[in-house]
Structure 1
Amino acid sequence: MHTIPGHHHVSMLTKHAPSNNHFYQNVLGLRRVKKTVNQDDPSMYHLFYGDLTGGAGTELSFFEMPMVGKTVRGTNAITRIGLLVPSLESLTFWKKRFEQLNVHHGDITKYAGRDALHFEDPEGLRLILINNNGEGVPSNWAPWDESVVEEKHRILGIGTVEITVRSLDKLANLLTDTFGYTEVSRSEQEAIYQSVPGKSFGEIVIKQEDGSPEKPGRGSVHHLAIRVSNDDELQYWDDAVRNRGFRSTGIVDRFYFKSLYFRESNGILFEIATDGPGFTADSNVEELGKALDLPPFLEERRAEIEAKLTPID
């Protein structure tokens, strides 16, 4: 039986890679596991942050677009990203940390039935710290011991992802009928689905909202990638997406993983990505994220690519 074992990564837009790098490493305590470029446009950085190795389900990735404008919020967009922390005590720790570091945040509240703390990064990306309450996490997640955040309060990986759309039914039916997600709760304007029952590392909250579509800009979400284990699984899902009537890009080799992309009926861009080979394909664990890594097909253009990039550190 083919199933989705959780989120793989979420990709966003940033206007300024150095500031983005500072926030996600030095404020949130994530590891920069890969400094590379957008393979479709190597003039821009593509930065990945996560756990020790950037394991699937921990990865936040950012495309640097220096000319990008401000996000105009609206519907038909991925609107919040949850990040799991170990405990309620961790949320208290983070609230104090955000106060000290002048990070825009709210009070500790509830979100999708769990203790939560809403906050935003410097570009207005909406994020939520969610109490994992001691629940199990995927076996491939591994802590990074050099984080600036003490171990008992570190971010574990990606939790609930919120998607706001005009048609809740269309997205809900895709998740349940095609990908096998379980419906946890449902009202007229909001529903919760899980790829792994009872676990928030594969959870999606759908909110229904009329109005104008979001205009992407700095701090907006480009796409959500969901996990599959290997190439055979990816081929199965490529066929499933096409059989449902969606246009798939077909399987693309991103060197660190293979994936495909498609847009569902509200226009939300999904990626389906394999777990491997991972970010250690061209770097050992100790050196992850330090040098500019390029996939083999771009290596011969290294001098040209590096000349167009502003050094981050």
Structure 2
Amino acid sequence: MYTIPGHHHISMITKNAQINNEFYQQVLGLRRVKKTVNQDDPSMYHLFYGDLTGSAGTELSFFEMPMAGRTIRGTNAITQIGLLVPSLESLEYWKKRFEHFDVKHGEITTYAGRAAFPFEDSEGLRLILLNNNGEEIPEYWAPWEGSSVEQKHRILGMGTVEITVRYLNRTARTLKDMFGYIEAARSENEAIYQSVAGQAFGEIVVKQQVGPSEKPGRGSIHHLAIRVKNEEELSYWDKVVKDCGFQSTGVVDRFYFQSLYFRDSNGILFEIATDGPGFTADSTVEELGGKLDLPPFLEARRAEIEAKLKPLD
């Protein structure tokens, strides 16, 4: 039986790729590791930010949708992204940095048992920095030395992801019974699940909230992707998803990884994605994110695709 070793990536909606590009590179200090397009609609950018190579578990990805309206917050949605930083001192560093860049933020607090610092990007996407406190991180996460953030305070990768649902037990069953996540904590209206015991890089907080479902828009989270090692494991999980009564897309070739998609009983969209081949499949490490990369099946349409996209530094 296979297990889930952590998060793979998380995908959001942005209205403006240029502003998004500036914030995640210049303010958060992440590397843009891939400038490509939405493979299902190549008229829009798909941007990925992460560590040196965009390792699984460090990737924040954005679809540019210029017509996106505002998000109307509600339940049955992925509602917050945790990002791990090395220490409590790092949270103080980021507080000063956000004040300098006029980033909307809260105060240093506690979240899911860790010192934490919540903030939002300019489109209202909710994120929270979490003190990793020297704990284990995946061995292949590699820092990007081109970051403008001080080395000892740089974002390490993804941490706790928050999902808000109308019926907690439904998503709990998906995580615990289907994927084998460990239930680390539970109260009446909230539970914490971990794919690796005690580790935040595969942790999900599920909160129960009644009311209308979220209406997605700019700054909303489209889906969470969880990791598997290879295509053999992905095929195994495809069968598990279907055997549990969910409708799977089946395996989809995204060139940089293989994946499948399904919605759980609360309508939360999950992706299951392989570690490889990764973003260096069509680029050297040094050149990552510098030019528009297209998967082979779109390469013949490059001129058409580039003509519809606004230039992006």
TM-score higher than 0.5 = yes
Q: Equivalents in 2 of 1:125, 1:18: separation in Å?
A: 16
Shift of 1:256: 0.1
Q: Which residue of 2 aligns with 1:22?
A: 22
Q: Equivalents in 1 of 2:208, 2:89: separation in Å?
A: 32
Q: Which residue of 1 aligns with 2:203?
A: 203
Q: How big is each residue's C-alpha offset from its partner over 1:203-227, in whole Å with a ceiling of 9 and x where there is no partner?
A: 0000000000000000000000000
Shift of 1:174: 1.1
SS class of match (1:36): strand
Q: How big is each residue's C-alpha offset from its partner over 1:253-279, in whole Å with a ceiling of 9 and x where there is no partner?
A: 000000000000000000000000000
1:85 matched to 2:85? The reply is yes
SS class of match (2:180): coil
Q: How big is each residue's C-alpha offset from its partner over 1:226-270, in whole Å with a ceiling of 9 and x where there is no partner?
A: 000000000000000000000000000000000000000000000
What TM-score does the superposition give when structure 1 sets the normalisation length? 1.00
Shift of 1:312: 1.1
Q: Which residue of 1 aligns with 2:122?
A: 122
Shift of 1:139: 1.3
Q: Equivalents in 2 of 1:140, 1:70: separation in Å?
A: 37
SS class of match (1:116): strand
Q: Equivalents in 1 of 2:305, 2:280: separation in Å?
A: 22
1:238 matched to 2:238? The reply is yes
SS class of match (1:106): coil
Q: Equivalents in 2 of 1:16, 1:147: separation in Å?
A: 22
Q: Equivalents in 1 of 2:183, 2:265: separation in Å?
A: 19
Shift of 1:170: 0.5
Q: Which residue of 1 aligns with 2:142?
A: 142
Shift of 1:99: 0.5
1:256 matched to 2:256? The reply is yes
Q: Equivalents in 1 of 2:169, 2:73: separation in Å?
A: 22
Unaligned runs of 5+ in 2: none
Q: Equivalents in 2 of 1:116, 1:90: separation in Å?
A: 10
Q: Which residue of 1 aligns with 2:182?
A: 182
Q: Equivalents in 1 of 2:50, 2:110: separation in Å?
A: 25
Q: Equivalents in 1 of 2:197, 2:87: separation in Å?
A: 20
Shift of 1:307: 0.3
| Equivalent runs, 1:203-222 vs 2, <5 Å | 203-222=203-222
Q: Which residue of 2 aligns with 1:112?
A: 112
Q: Equivalents in 2 of 1:61, 1:181: separation in Å?
A: 24
Which amino acid counterpart does residue 20 of structure 2 have in structure 1? N
Q: Equivalents in 1 of 2:8, 2:91: separation in Å?
A: 24
SS class of match (1:139): coil
Shift of 1:136: 1.1
RMSD over equivalenced CA pairs, Å: 0.4
What TM-score does the superposition give when structure 2 sets the normalisation length? 1.00
Q: Which residue of 1 aligns with 2:6?
A: 6
Q: Which residue of 2 aligns with 1:36?
A: 36
1:49 matched to 2:49? The reply is yes
Q: Which residue of 1 aligns with 2:298?
A: 298
Shift of 1:302: 0.1
Q: Equivalents in 1 of 2:301, 2:280: separation in Å?
A: 21
Q: Equivalents in 2 of 1:301, 1:139: separation in Å?
A: 38
Shift of 1:122: 0.5
Q: Which residue of 2 aligns with 1:66?
A: 66
SS class of match (1:237): helix
Q: How big is each residue's C-alpha offset from its partner over 1:48-93, in whole Å with a ceiling of 9 and x where there is no partner?
A: 0000000000000000000010000000000000000000000000
SS class of match (1:177): helix
- Report how many aligned residue pairs link the two structures: 313
Query: What percentage of aligned pairs have identical amino acids?
Result: 76
Moved over 2 A (4+): none
Q: Which residue of 2 aligns with 1:277?
A: 277
Which amino acid counterpart does residue 152 of structure 1 have in structure 2? K
Q: How big is each residue's C-alpha offset from its partner over 1:91-123, in whole Å with a ceiling of 9 and x where there is no partner?
A: 000000001110000110000000000000000
Unaligned runs of 5+ in 1: none
Q: Equivalents in 2 of 1:158, 1:304: separation in Å?
A: 35
Q: Equivalents in 2 of 1:124, 1:194: separation in Å?
A: 27
